[in-house]
Structure 1
Amino acid sequence: MAVQTGPERASASPTTGATAPGTPARPGMGDSLRRLGSVQKSTVGVPAYMRWVNRPVGGLLAVVSHRLGLTPTQVTGVSALLSFGGILALATLRPSALTAVLVGLALALGFAFDSADGQLARLRGGGTLAGEWLDHVVDAVKSSSLHAAVAISLYRFTDLDHPAVLLLPLAYGVVGLTQYFGMMLRDQLLRTRKVPAPAGTPRPAPEQGSLLKAVLLLPVDYGVLCLVFFLLAWTTAFLWAYGALLVLTAAFAVHSLSKAYRSLVRASASS
């Protein structure tokens, strides 16, 4: 008997366990993974960790969530609980090897579930505006509170020879939120104006051609930031890695926001 791929759970016979004729059944894991692969976003220009680690793990979580009957909003909730649990641990627990593992894993898993909610929405046939809004709000709160928690941890638990080090997480929070909202607003303005692509705009390069860019974007990949927290027990190593990511993220923000501004100027001139 052919298995249908609708979202409903199969009804089984109470005596034999067989699926009743004519009753829709959930697709198997393999079928769901293949279906998800056909509706995935492009990987062109996606940072390496997000592309090769977070998205595949998020896909598996999305398939499992689909089998369990979870909604994308519920998966967003799981992502928020993990991320904010890690942030709370960062702000309240003294840095140690155990704290570093706890915080790093919680943030990395929260990031994976953040990918899973969108993939689950596509697996189910599309998401909602409310779900997309909630996902962005959680991302905004997570980004700002993470760096605030770093400042709290440094202030509470570290004997700083140079208190100016506390400026690092404050600056990181400003840079991260400015970059995030600047690019989001650019996309929203272009969608609102319905600006067509300029004539002669080259097509995106094939995915194989984006490998170098994926590696170059690693410093601004949120997943790499999550991994840095595994160094939390070793303050000097953590601060060097965290500070290096801040400098590279700031440089990338200047470049991308300048490029966004020029694209909006051109869009205004052509409309």
Structure 2
Amino acid sequence: MNGSSGGETYAQSLARLSTAQKGSSGAPAYSRFINRRLGRYFAAAAYQLGMTPNQVTAVSALFTFAGIAVIAFVPTSIWSAVAVVLLLVIGYALDSADGQLARLRGGGSSAGEWLDHVIDATKIGVLHLSVYYNWLREPDGRHAVLGIPLAYEVVAAIAFFAIVLTDQLRRAQHVRTGIPTRGSRRTSALYSLAVVPTDYGLMCLAFILLAWPVGFTVIYIAFFAANTLYLLLALPKWFRELKGLGELPDAVAQVSSEVAP
């Protein structure tokens, strides 16, 4: 299968991708060991089809938001739960594939990174809103914890913004000094396993329990607690790290102040 890949086969594209992976810094286990591998297969296929990274991002969004819509609007059953997991898992794998495709094509763009982040921020917000709406529609004795998805949305939004901004400031410091920052170092497999409760991919798999209200509620609250604890521990750590990096160039500092609300 050659498509628009200049004569390169699917196997050759896949082999090139295996040596064009981004760093593992901070990546939890599912995202690092499973989702990136799935994304690699999708990226190689997209390359053969002549797709652009932004097109893959759009397809990823279609799968992801279809899965979120099923949570919110389709009566819960084992079949709807399976559909949610498949749609979210494929959407997440394609979310990894767009960046891998960009590297396969020789590099991405600022507009592509912006689009990817905007869609990620949107899905994080509406995912927990869909759980909230699902619980409102089918309370199953969950009246006392109906506010958890809304609190989870706040935690997820803060975490996403903090992670993205921290990464941007690390990059700016690296460009200025040429010295790798702590965030650019390779993460151990043990750390990836330790932070797996914060893994969006694991959350996607947890929706298989959606048709078992008690089980899903317990797991969802456990995810919420783990992510809240992680955020409370990570925020001061990131602040101390960035404080130790020193002053940023005026242009970068100006951009950072404009990003912040």
Say which one has the larger Rg. Answer: 1
Indicate if the aligned counterparts of 1:58 and 1:116 stay in contact, CA closer than 8 A. yes
Q: State the 1:212 CA deviation.
A: 0.8
* Matching residue within 51, 76, 82 for 2:57: 76
In structure 1, the residue matched to 2:228 is 250
C-alpha distance in structure 2 between counterparts of 1:199 and 1:135, whole Å: 24
CA RMSD of aligned residues (A): 2.4
C-alpha distance in structure 1 between counterparts of 2:120 and 2:14, whole Å: 26
Change (3 A) 1:164 1:198: farther
Indicate if the aligned counterparts of 2:25 and 2:183 stay in contact, CA closer than 8 A. no
Unaligned 5+ segments in structure 1 are: 10-24
- Check if 1:57 corresponds to 2:38: yes
In structure 2, the residue matched to 1:171 is 151
- Check if 1:94 corresponds to 2:72: no
Between the aligned residues of both structures, percent identity stands at 42
In structure 2, the residue matched to 1:105 is 86
Change (3 A) 1:100 1:47: same
Output aligned runs, 1:231-242, within 5 Å. Answer: 231-242=209-220
Q: What amino acid does structure 2 have at the position aligned with 1:250?
A: T
Q: What amino acid does structure 2 have at the position aligned with 1:186?
A: T
TM-score (norm 1): 0.84
In structure 2, the residue matched to 1:18 is none
Q: C-alpha deviations, 1:131-160, integer Å up to 9, x for none? A: 110000000000000000000000012233
* Matching residue within 213, 227, 250 for 2:205: 227
Q: State the 1:235 CA deviation.
A: 0.4
Which is worse superposed, 109-118 or 162-171?
A: 162-171
How many residues end up aligned between the 2 structures? 247
Change (3 A) 1:54 1:203: closer
Q: State the 1:201 CA deviation.
A: 7.2
Runs of 4+ in 1 over 6 A off after TM superposition: 197-203
C-alpha distance in structure 2 between counterparts of 1:214 and 1:138, whole Å: 24
Q: C-alpha deviations, 1:86-118, integer Å up to 9, x for none? A: 111111011110111111111111000000000
Change (3 A) 1:86 1:255: same
- Check if 1:85 corresponds to 2:66: yes
SS state at 1:225 partner: helix
Q: C-alpha deviations, 1:54-84, integer Å up to 9, x for none? A: 0001000000011011111110011000000
In structure 2, the residue matched to 1:183 is 163
Output aligned runs, 1:21-32, within 5 Å. Answer: 25-32=6-13
C-alpha distance in structure 2 between counterparts of 1:86 and 1:199, whole Å: 38
Q: C-alpha deviations, 1:221-270, integer Å up to 9, x for none? A: 11100011000000000010011011111111111111111122223469
Q: State the 1:191 CA deviation.
A: 3.8
* Matching residue within 177, 183, 191 for 1:213: 191
Indicate if the aligned counterparts of 1:72 and 1:120 stay in contact, CA closer than 8 A. yes
Q: State the 1:46 CA deviation.
A: 2.1
Indicate if the aligned counterparts of 1:26 and 1:67 stay in contact, CA closer than 8 A. no
Q: What amino acid does structure 2 have at the position aligned with 1:116?
A: A
C-alpha distance in structure 2 between counterparts of 1:83 and 1:199, whole Å: 34
C-alpha distance in structure 1 between counterparts of 2:205 and 2:16, whole Å: 30
C-alpha distance in structure 2 between counterparts of 1:191 and 1:62, whole Å: 25
SS state at 1:267 partner: coil
